[in-house]
Protein backbone atom coordinates (compact mmCIF):
# COMPACT_ATOMS: atom_id res chain seq x y z
CA UNK A 1 0.00 0.00 0.00
CA UNK A 2 1.30 3.42 -1.01
CA UNK A 3 1.75 5.53 2.05
CA UNK A 4 3.55 8.29 3.86
CA UNK A 5 4.34 7.43 7.45
CA UNK A 6 4.82 10.17 9.99
CA UNK A 7 5.90 9.67 13.57
CA UNK A 8 4.97 10.50 16.20
CA UNK A 9 1.25 11.34 15.81
CA UNK A 10 1.24 13.35 19.02
CA UNK A 11 4.09 14.98 20.91
CA UNK A 12 4.24 17.27 23.92
CA UNK A 13 7.65 18.68 24.67
CA UNK A 14 9.32 21.50 26.57
CA UNK A 15 10.91 24.62 25.20
CA UNK A 16 14.43 24.05 23.99
CA UNK A 17 14.44 20.26 23.88
CA UNK A 18 15.52 19.10 20.44
CA UNK A 19 13.09 16.86 18.60
CA UNK A 20 12.73 15.11 15.27
CA UNK A 21 9.54 14.26 13.40
CA UNK A 22 10.11 11.47 10.94
CA UNK A 23 8.58 11.05 7.49
CA UNK A 24 9.02 8.00 5.32
CA UNK A 25 7.42 7.13 1.96
CA UNK A 26 7.31 3.91 -0.05
CA UNK A 27 6.32 5.37 -3.44
CA UNK A 28 9.77 6.34 -4.70
CA UNK A 29 8.62 9.96 -4.97
CA UNK A 30 11.29 12.52 -5.68
CA UNK A 31 9.51 15.49 -4.12
CA UNK A 32 8.90 15.68 -0.37
CA UNK A 33 7.68 18.61 1.66
CA UNK A 34 6.81 19.68 5.20
CA UNK A 35 3.85 21.87 6.10
CA UNK A 36 2.52 23.34 9.30
CA UNK A 37 -1.17 24.04 9.81
CA UNK A 38 -2.41 26.84 12.03
CA UNK A 39 -5.99 28.12 12.52
CA UNK A 40 -6.95 30.76 9.99
CA UNK A 41 -3.72 30.32 8.04
CA UNK A 42 -4.23 27.01 6.28
CA UNK A 43 -1.14 24.95 5.54
CA UNK A 44 2.15 26.70 4.98
CA UNK A 45 5.23 25.10 3.53
CA UNK A 46 8.26 24.84 5.81
CA UNK A 47 10.86 23.05 3.67
CA UNK A 48 10.89 20.90 0.60
CA UNK A 49 13.23 18.53 -1.19
CA UNK A 50 13.45 17.75 -4.88
CA UNK A 51 15.69 14.72 -4.39
CA UNK A 52 18.42 13.25 -2.22
CA UNK A 53 20.70 15.94 -0.80
CA UNK A 54 18.58 18.68 -2.42
CA UNK A 55 16.54 20.74 0.05
CA UNK A 56 15.25 24.29 0.08
CA UNK A 57 13.30 26.68 2.24
CA UNK A 58 9.58 27.11 1.96
CA UNK A 59 7.54 30.00 3.30
CA UNK A 60 8.13 29.55 7.03
CA UNK A 61 11.53 27.84 7.53
CA UNK A 62 12.72 29.71 10.66
CA UNK A 63 13.39 27.37 13.57
CA UNK A 64 13.39 24.20 11.47
CA UNK A 65 15.93 21.99 9.76
CA UNK A 66 15.57 19.10 7.36
CA UNK A 67 17.77 16.51 5.72
CA UNK A 68 17.36 14.14 2.78
CA UNK A 69 20.04 11.49 2.98
CA UNK A 70 17.84 8.78 1.49
CA UNK A 71 15.07 9.14 -1.05
CA UNK A 72 12.42 7.64 1.19
CA UNK A 73 13.08 9.67 4.36
CA UNK A 74 12.68 13.38 5.06
CA UNK A 75 12.91 14.17 8.79
CA UNK A 76 11.92 17.54 10.26
CA UNK A 77 14.20 18.73 13.04
CA UNK A 78 13.42 21.34 15.65
CA UNK A 79 16.76 22.14 17.29
CA UNK A 80 15.30 24.36 20.02
CA UNK A 81 11.51 24.27 19.94
CA UNK A 82 9.52 27.25 21.14
CA UNK A 83 5.81 27.60 21.99
CA UNK A 84 5.12 29.34 18.67
CA UNK A 85 6.00 26.08 16.94
CA UNK A 86 2.99 24.42 18.51
CA UNK A 87 1.11 23.28 15.43
CA UNK A 88 -0.14 20.41 13.30
CA UNK A 89 2.57 19.20 10.93
CA UNK A 90 2.20 17.31 7.68
CA UNK A 91 4.65 15.61 5.39
CA UNK A 92 3.56 15.43 1.73
CA UNK A 93 5.10 13.75 -1.30
CA UNK A 94 4.55 13.59 -5.06
CA UNK A 95 6.28 12.46 -8.20
CA UNK A 96 8.50 14.85 -10.05
CA UNK A 97 6.53 15.84 -13.11
CA UNK A 98 8.47 18.22 -15.35
CA UNK A 99 5.69 20.80 -15.30
CA UNK A 100 2.66 18.53 -15.20
CA UNK A 101 0.21 19.75 -12.58
CA UNK A 102 -2.14 16.80 -12.29
CA UNK A 103 0.03 14.55 -10.16
CA UNK A 104 -1.50 14.04 -6.78
CA UNK A 105 0.06 14.59 -3.41
CA UNK A 106 0.14 11.98 -0.69
CA UNK A 107 -0.02 13.26 2.87
CA UNK A 108 1.11 11.70 6.09
CA UNK A 109 -1.36 11.39 8.95
CA UNK A 110 -0.05 14.49 10.69
CA UNK A 111 1.84 15.21 13.89
CA UNK A 112 0.25 17.33 16.59
CA UNK A 113 3.10 19.07 18.39
CA UNK A 114 2.69 21.04 21.60
CA UNK A 115 5.65 22.98 23.00
CA UNK A 116 5.21 24.16 26.59
Partner 1 sequence: AQKITQTQPGMFVQEKEAVTLDCTYDTSDPSYGLFWYKQPSSGEMIFLIYQGSYDQQNATEGRYSLNFQKARKSANLVISASQLGDSAMYFCAMVGSNDYKLSFGAGTTVTVRA
Alpha carbons within 13 A on the beta-carbon side of 93: 23
Rounded distance between C-alpha atoms, residue 72 and residue 49, angstroms: 11
For residue 64, state whether it binds partner 1 (rule: CB under 8 A). Answer: no
For residue 75, state whether it binds partner 1 (rule: CB under 8 A). Answer: no
User: 1, 62, 101, 116: which one contacts partner 1 (CB under 8 A)?
Assistant: 101
Stretches 14-22, 61-69, 72-80, 101-109: which one binds partner 1 (CB under 8 A)?
101-109
Q: Which is nearer to partner 1, 43 or 78 (CB)?
A: 43
CA angle 81, 86, 89 (to 5 degrees): 100
Task: Work out how close the CB of 16 gets to partner 1 at its nearest, in angstroms, rounded to a whole number.
Answer: 26
Rounded distance between C-alpha atoms, residue 95 and residue 45, angstroms: 17
For residue 110, state whether it binds partner 1 (rule: CB under 8 A). Answer: yes
User: 19, 60, 92, 115: which one contacts partner 1 (CB under 8 A)?
Assistant: 92
Rounded distance between C-alpha atoms, residue 84 and residue 99, angstroms: 35
Amino acid sequence: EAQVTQNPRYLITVTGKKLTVTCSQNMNHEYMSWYRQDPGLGLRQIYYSMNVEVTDKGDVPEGYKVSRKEKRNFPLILESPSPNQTSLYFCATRRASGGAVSYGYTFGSGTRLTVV
